[in-house]
């Protein structure tokens, strides 16, 4: 039991807030994106800045308190909140500083991609982030960062120039290609294993107005469209980062009637480059079928960043499965569409992301801890529902879908989409890089202080377990 005096001391040494159970703000602040995660930390330290992060880390260490680190709480596996320990909450650290000349931006960890790209847009710039605006810059970048400019500029961590990190002993340091470069390698893919990142410096890119949208097909006509898309993608320019999104239209969405009768397959994404070239290049994709609707428009990149946000709402129950695919065969397409036809919840979205040969795949495999750049397609089944009583049916459907997909999956998974984080899946995510990450963990966090994450176990933790 933590003494009241110790907690009082912690409280007075913070610039931010301390939320304890039964106090105002606690309930609201213990929740994360996924309502299926219902944990009760003993304390939530809502940090106002770096000093609070250092204070929280040193306090947890001194009092032997388990720690979870949370930026915006989007991780669906729930690793950013613990039962009974301390949540280091970074969600109100929202500083954004842009250098328009150098086209760089420094961001604090509570910032979302929508906020960042809103600020960059005024300078005609954009940062490579995720496919939606609500997710946090922090967790998404530390695990990889797949989004609407992945084919043109790589994933989010390929654009990371430096980061400030609070280590497990409370030490603060910067990491880049020239300072603590081993740590810089590890945080680009190794998630929150090595410390708390308190600021990220990114390379931004010219974006301005882009061409973005989806060609929408009713499910019953989507098979041919998906095959056409797959073949189109083999020669698609890198300016186009595309995917196929399968979802149910929410009532009231202004779409033609057939798209309200059955699930929708939306094919498309964002073109970042000369717009007239984009209009010509994307025409075949937008005309094939023809689709029941074509939502492509010219828009600011910051608008494109948020165009799919309505599909994933905070507070739904979520259960996800994801994996890179060996290839997108006809059989795989038919299997996916067959399961979409029986989807139990209108909130569920299935996404096929295409990264392919592009700026993303040209980054050397050993340049960062993130890997699997050789697989062109990634599938994400984001099952979501609103009534707790529907959990069993939705989880069952997701698992059956996943069993049927197994023949088409590569031995490669993206850590940030893991719905269940266990040792086997983390090892599968890092593959041969796991060994180098272990050596780094031994150096920067040998006691596994940061273990509520996609955990890389230090050697000591493994041998302790072996001895037990
Ligand atoms: C609706 C939705 C859409 C998504 N879309 C995409 C997408 O388009 N592309 C994509 O690549 N991913 C996507 N994701 C997955 C996303 O990358 C992860 O959920 C990621 O963890 C979100 O970042 P966060 O800051 O909210 O993480 P949190 O949930 O706050 O934290 C998750 C973990 O990340 C680590 N972490 C977070 N912040 C820090 C920090 N400052 N320092 C050290 N460690 C930290 C910790 O280990 C923590 O446990 C999506 C997720 C959701 C729910």
Q: How far is the CA of 224 from the centre of ligand 1 (A)?
A: 34
Angle at 73 between CA 421 and CA 370, to 5 degrees: 50
pLDDT digits (tens, 9 = 90+) for 15-38: 999 999 999 999 999 999 999 999
The set of protein residues with a Cβ atom below 6 angstroms from ligand 1 is: 33, 68-76, 79-80, 90, 109, 130-132, 135-136, 138-140, 142-147, 191-192, 196-197, 312, 416-417, 452-453
Question: Ligand 1, atom 52: nearest CA belongs to which residue?
Answer: 74
182 contact partners, CB below 8 Å, separation of at least 6 = 440, 443
CA 247 to centroid of ligand 1, rounded, Å = 22
- Token pair in block for residue 204: 């931004």
DSSP letter, residue 401:
H
At 93, list the tokens: 């650290």
Of the pLDDT bands very low, low, confident and very high (cuts 50, 70, 90), residue 463 is: low
Q: Supply the DSSP string of 114-159, one letter for each residue.
A: HHHHHHHHTTTEE----SSSSSBHHHHHHH----TTHHHH--GGGG
Nearest CA to ligand 1 atom 23: 139
For residues 244 and 206, the answer to whether their CB atoms sit within 8 Å is no
Secondary structure class of 33 (helix, strand, coil): coil
Pick left, alpha or beta for residue 154 (phi over 0 → left; psi -120 to 50 → alpha; otherwise beta).
left
Name the band, by pLDDT with cuts 50, 70 and 90, for residue 1: low
Q: At which residue do the structure tokens 């995720």 appear?
A: 130
Query: pLDDT tens across 166-220, in order?
Result: 999 999 999 999 999 999 999 999 999 999 999 999 999 999 999 999 999 999 9
Q: Which of 138, 413, 452 most suits a substitution to test ligand 1, by most atoms within 8 Å of the C-beta?
A: 138
Report how far ligand 1's centroid is from the alpha carbon of 76 (Å).
8
Q: What average pLDDT is seen over the chain?
A: 96
Report the pLDDT value the prediction gives residue 3, as an integer from 0 to 100: 87
Q: Please give the distance, rounded to the nearest whole angstrom, from the Cα atom of residue 3 to the centre of ligand 1.
A: 33
Q: How many residues does the chain have?
A: 468
| Residues 353, 357, 358: CA angle, nearest 5 degrees | 85
Contact 115, 71 (CB under 8 A): no
The rounded distance, in Å, linking the Cα atoms of 379 and 409 is 9
Atom of ligand 1 nearest to the CA of 34: 53
At 468 the pLDDT is 40
Cα–Cα distance measured from residue 422 to residue 131, given in angstroms and rounded to the nearest whole number: 25
Determine the Cα–Cα distance for residues 73 and 76; give it in Å rounded to an integer. Answer: 8
Q: Give the mean pLDDT of 399-420.
A: 95
- Mean pLDDT over residues 70-98, rounded? 97
Flag whether the pTM goes above 0.85. Answer: yes
Ligand 1 centroid, distance to 61 Cα (angstroms): 24
Ligand 1 atom with minimal separation from the 138 CA: 25
Question: Which residue has the CA at smallest separation from atom 41 of ligand 1?
Answer: 197
CA 77 / ligand 1 centre spacing (Å): 10
* CB-based contacts of 402, cutoff 8 Å, min separation 6: 321, 381
Sequence-ordered list of residues with C-beta below 8 angstroms from that of 44, at least 6 positions apart, any chain: 18, 19, 26, 29, 30, 86, 87, 89
């Amino acid at each position: 039991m933590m003494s009241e005096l110790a907690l009082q001391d912690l409280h007075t040494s913070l610039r931010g807030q301390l939320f304890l159970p039964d106090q105002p703000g606690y309930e609201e602040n213990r929740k994360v994106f996924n309502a299926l995660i219902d944990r009760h930390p003993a304390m939530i330290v809502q940090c106002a800045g770096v000093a609070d992060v250092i204070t929280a880390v040193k306090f947890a260490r001194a009092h032997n308190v388990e720690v979870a680190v949370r930026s915006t709480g989007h991780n669906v596996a729930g690793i950013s909140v613990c039962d009974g320990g301390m949540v280091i909450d970074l969600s109100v650290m929202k500083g954004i500083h842009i250098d328009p000349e150098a086209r760089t931006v420094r961001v604090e960890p509570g910032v979302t991609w929508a906020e960042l790209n809103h600020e960059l847009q005024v300078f005609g710039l954009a940062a490579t982030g995720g496919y939606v605006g609500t997710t946090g810059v922090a967790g998404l970048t530390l695990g990889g960062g797949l989004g609407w400019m992945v084919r043109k500029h790589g994933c989010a961590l390929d654009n990371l120039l430096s980061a400030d990190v609070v280590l497990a002993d409370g030490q603060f340091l910067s990491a880049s290609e020239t300072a603590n470069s081993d740590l810089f390698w590890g945080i680009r893919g190794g998630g929150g294993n090595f410390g708390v990142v308190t600021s990220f410096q990114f390379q931004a890119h010219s974006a301005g107005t882009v061409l973005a949208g989806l060609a929408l097909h009713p499910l019953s006509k989507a098979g041919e469209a998906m095959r056409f898309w797959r073949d189109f993608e083999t020669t698609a320019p890198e300016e186009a980062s595309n995917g196929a999104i399968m979802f149910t239209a929410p009532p009231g969405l202004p779409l033609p009637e057939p798209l309200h009768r059955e699930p929708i397959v939306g094919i498309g994404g964002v073109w970042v480059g000369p717009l007239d070239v984009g209009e010509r290049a994307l025409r075949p994709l937008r005309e094939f079928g023809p689709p029941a609707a074509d939502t492509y428009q010219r828009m600011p990149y910051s608008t494109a960043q948020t165009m799919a946000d309505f599909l994933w709402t905070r507070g739904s129950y979520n259960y996800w499965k994801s994996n890179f695919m060996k290839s997108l065969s006809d059989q795989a397409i038919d299997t996916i569409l067959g399961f979409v036809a029986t989807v139990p919840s209108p909130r569920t979205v299935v996404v096929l992301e295409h990264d392919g040969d592009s700026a993303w795949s040209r980054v050397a495999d050993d340049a960062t801890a993130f890997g699997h750049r050789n697989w062109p397609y990634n599938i994400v089944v984001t099952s979501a529902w609103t009534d707790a009583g529907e959990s069993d049916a939705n989880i069952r459907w997701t698992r059956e879908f996943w069993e049927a997909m197994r023949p088409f999956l590569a031995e490669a998974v993206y850590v940030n989409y893991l719905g269940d984080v266990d040792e086997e899946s983390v090892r599968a995510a890092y593959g041969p890089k796991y060994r180098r990450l272990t050596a780094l963990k031994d150096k920067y966090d040998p006691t596994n202080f940061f273990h509520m994450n996609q955990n890389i176990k230090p050697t000591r933790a493994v041998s302790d377990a072996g001895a037990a």
